[in-house]
């Protein structure tokens, strides 16, 4: 790695740490049920939460992890964990995102955890999204995939149905089944992920979200619409909160 690239990586990590720590410091209070997001930015929020619990600066916290990876991380820090079954109301959830638009609509799931993230974050009284400013976009789906979790049974058929959607007809859409080490990637829920790639912005994201959900083999998609209460954004000029 050259010195320049190394410096950029450190800088990117620093931006993630700032927002992760700030989310916990500003929005988590003792006694809360906390939704724990997944990804390299949410990682820092979980670190901070674990640290504050260990230092006695927060107490009576329980966390609800949005993936098995986050579950392992939280357990390693001694964060007590519960599920929505026993704790259906989440006081605050903190998570990263792949893209954030002006209205705080999101693309999530490039890390593969969109189903549990949406399940838990839908129940959050306050959903706090933490990103660096590279995630801010004009139109969703332009910097990478829009992930869709599908059942493995007849996934090629489900993928064809996604490609045939009227609402994506103007987007020059293509699709791949997500893979890992030359095998199909399997989610925490034993499903697959179809990644949709768009060359042009989705004209109506609400309609697209609805039509994608209506396909029978689709379990959930990575368009998170009208869910976010606030977004903490870090950049070279500091940190700001968008509400």
Q: List active site positions.
A: 117
Phi-psi bin for 193: left (phi > 0), alpha (psi -120 to 50), beta? beta
User: What are the beta bridge partners of residue 195?
Assistant: 147, 176
Task: Work out how close the CB of 4 gets to ligand 5RP at its nearest, in angstroms, rounded to a whole number.
Answer: 21
Quote the tokens at residue 7.
């410096």
Q: Does 52 bind ligand 5RP (CB under 6 A)?
A: no
Which of 98, 101, 195, 220 contacts ligand 5RP by CB under 6 A?
Answer: 98
Which of 2, 229, 3, 38 is closest to 147 using CA atoms? Answer: 38
Span interacting with ligand 5RP, options 77-85, 103-111, 176-184, 191-199, rule CB under 6 A: 103-111
Q: 46 burial class (0-12, 13-18, 19+ CB within 10 angstroms)?
A: buried
Q: Which stretch binds ligand 5RP (CB under 6 A): 49-57, 95-103, 165-173, 212-220?
A: 95-103
Report the Cα 117 to chain-centroid distance in Å: 6
From 113, 49, 93, 119, select the one nearest 228 (Cα to Cα).
93
- Which tokens go with 13? 């990590």
Nearest distance from C-beta of residue 134 to ligand 5RP, angstroms = 9
**Is residue 109 a contact point for ligand 5RP (CB under 6 A)?**
yes
Backbone angles phi, psi at 160, to 5 degrees: -60, -40
Contact status: 95 vs ligand 5RP (CB under 6 A): yes
The yes or no reply on residue 113 touching ligand 5RP (CB under 6 A) is yes
Q: Is 20 in the site for ligand 5RP (CB under 6 A)?
A: no
37 binds ligand 5RP (CB under 6 A): yes
The reply on whether position 39 binds ligand 5RP by CB under 6 A is: yes
By the 10 Å C-beta count (0-12 exposed, 13-18 middle, 19+ buried), 233 is classed as: buried
Binding of residue 40 to ligand 5RP (CB under 6 A): yes
Q: Does 35 bind ligand 5RP (CB under 6 A)?
A: no
The answer to whether 194 and 177 are in contact (CB under 8 A) is yes
**In the complex with ligand 5RP, which residue's Cβ is closer, 58 or 97?**
97
Minimum CB–partner distance for residue 41 and ligand 5RP (Å): 3
Residue 52 or 110 with smaller CB distance to ligand 5RP:
110
Residue from 45, 92, 94, 97 that binds ligand 5RP (CB under 6 A)? 97
DSSP state, 32?
-
Contact 191, 118 (CB under 8 A): no
Q: Is 63 in the site for ligand 5RP (CB under 6 A)?
A: no
Chain residues in the site for ligand 5RP (CB under 6 A): 37-41, 95-98, 108-114, 117
């Amino acid at each position: 790695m050259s010195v320049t690239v190394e410096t950029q990586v450190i800088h990117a990590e620093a931006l993630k740490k700032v927002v992760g720590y700030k989310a916990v410091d500003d929005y988590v209070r003792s006694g809360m049920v906390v939704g724990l997001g997944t990804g390299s930015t949410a990682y820092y929020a979980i670190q901070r939460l674990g640290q504050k619990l260990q230092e006695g600066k927060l107490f009576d916290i329980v966390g609800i992890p949005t993936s098995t990876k986050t579950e392992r991380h939280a357990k390693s820090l001694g964060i007590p964990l519960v599920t929505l079954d026993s704790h259906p109301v989440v006081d605050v959830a903190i998570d990263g995102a792949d893209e954030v638009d002006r209205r705080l609509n999101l693309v999530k799931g490039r890390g593969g955890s969109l189903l549990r993230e949406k399940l838990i974050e839908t129940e959050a009284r306050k959903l706090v999204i933490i990103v660096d400013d590279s995630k801010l976009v004009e139109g969703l789906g332009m910097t990478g995939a829009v992930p869709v979790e599908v059942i493995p049974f007849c996934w090629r058929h489900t993928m064809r149905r996604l490609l045939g959607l009227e609402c994506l007809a103007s987007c020059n859409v293509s699709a791949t089944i997500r893979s890992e080490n030359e095998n199909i990637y399997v989610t925490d829920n034993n499903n697959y992920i179809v990644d949709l790639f768009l060359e042009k912005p989705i004209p109506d994201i609400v309609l697209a979200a609805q039509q994608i959900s209506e396909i029978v083999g689709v379990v959930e998609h990575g368009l998170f619409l009208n869910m976010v209460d606030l977004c903490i954004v870090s950049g070279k000029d500091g940190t700001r909160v968008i509400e």
